């Protein structure tokens, strides 16, 4: 079965290309032109009420939310390799990191970059400083979040860190910088970057 990714190279769908390259299942891309507003058209709104990318279609499954897509595809196609098996005790740490990307790293960086005033105790993402310290401690043993085993958690967290570094919204020195350098050596990431870059040129976005 071929997985369909509704995609634009200037979106988080670029990360889903990396997810798909790691998974190794056949897939194709359908460009949804963000600049032309195609994501707000009824056709795309029916796929994702949030009118955002990425969205995948895998048989009867139509789903949005990039981290959830990564978890779903790893469970379905790479259980025991990119996702710890359901009875593997490392599954707890794995899921924790998969959720940490969108629910802690992203909002903590956004809060810092935008100068939000908020109650650190009430906000689920706490403080930027605590988030960085947690991430650095999580990577202390390394090379990956679960130690020797590279998992989908590294794609979800790693892609978020890499993306935020590009926009100077998160530290790029020390442990996090070294982590991104290790991620950059993944052949699947290199293939995804090449595909996304080729599309950027093809769509005249370069
Ligand atoms: N939480 C969502 C966020 C998706 C998202 O914000 N996508 C952006 C591109 S990175 C988008 O589609 N923006 C178009 C818009 O909101 O107009 C996920 O991780 O998939």
At 24-75, the pLDDT tens digits run 999 999 999 999 999 999 999 999 999 999 999 999 999 999 999 999 999 9
Q: Is 176 a member of any domain?
A: yes
pLDDT at 40: 98
Ligand 1 neighbours (beta carbon < 6 A): 11-12, 34, 39, 52-54, 64-67, 102
Domain co-membership, 152 together with 118? yes
CA 60 to ligand 1 center in whole angstroms: 22
Domain co-membership, 163 together with 195? no
Parent domain of 24: 3-80+189-202
Distances in Å between the Cα of 9 and the Cα atoms of 3, 68, 165 are 17, 19, 17
Domain co-membership, 125 together with 99? yes
Q: How many domains does the chain have?
A: 2
Residues of the chain predicted below pLDDT 70: none
CA 69 to ligand 1: nearest atom: 20
pLDDT at 165: 96
Domain co-membership, 50 together with 127? no
CA 178 to ligand 1 center in whole angstroms: 27
């Amino acid at each position: 079965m071929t997985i369909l990714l509704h995609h634009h190279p200037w979106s988080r769908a670029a990360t889903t290309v990396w997810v798909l390259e790691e998974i190794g299942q056949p897939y194709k891309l359908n460009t949804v032109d963000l600049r032309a507003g195609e994501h707000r058209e009824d056709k795309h709104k029916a796929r994702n009420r949030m009118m955002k990318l990425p969205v995948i279609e895998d048989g009867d499954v139509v789903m949005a939310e990039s981290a959830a897509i990564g978890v779903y595809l790893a469970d379905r196609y790479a259980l025991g390799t990119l996702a710890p098996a359901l009875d593997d005790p490392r599954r707890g740490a794995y899921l924790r990191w998969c959720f940490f990307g969108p629910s802690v790293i992203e909002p903590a960086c956004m809060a810092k970059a935008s100068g939000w005033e908020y109650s650190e105790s009430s906000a689920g993402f706490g403080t930027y400083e605590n988030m960085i310290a947690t991430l650095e401690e999580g990577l202390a043993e390394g090379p990956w979040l679960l130690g020797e085993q590279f998992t989908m958690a590294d794609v979800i967290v790693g892609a978020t860190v890499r993306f935020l570094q590009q926009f100077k919204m998160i530290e790029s020195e020390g442990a996090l910088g070294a982590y991104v350098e290790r991620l950059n050596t993944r052949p699947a990431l290199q293939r995804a970057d090449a595909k996304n870059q080729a599309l950027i040129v093809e769509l005249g976005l370069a």
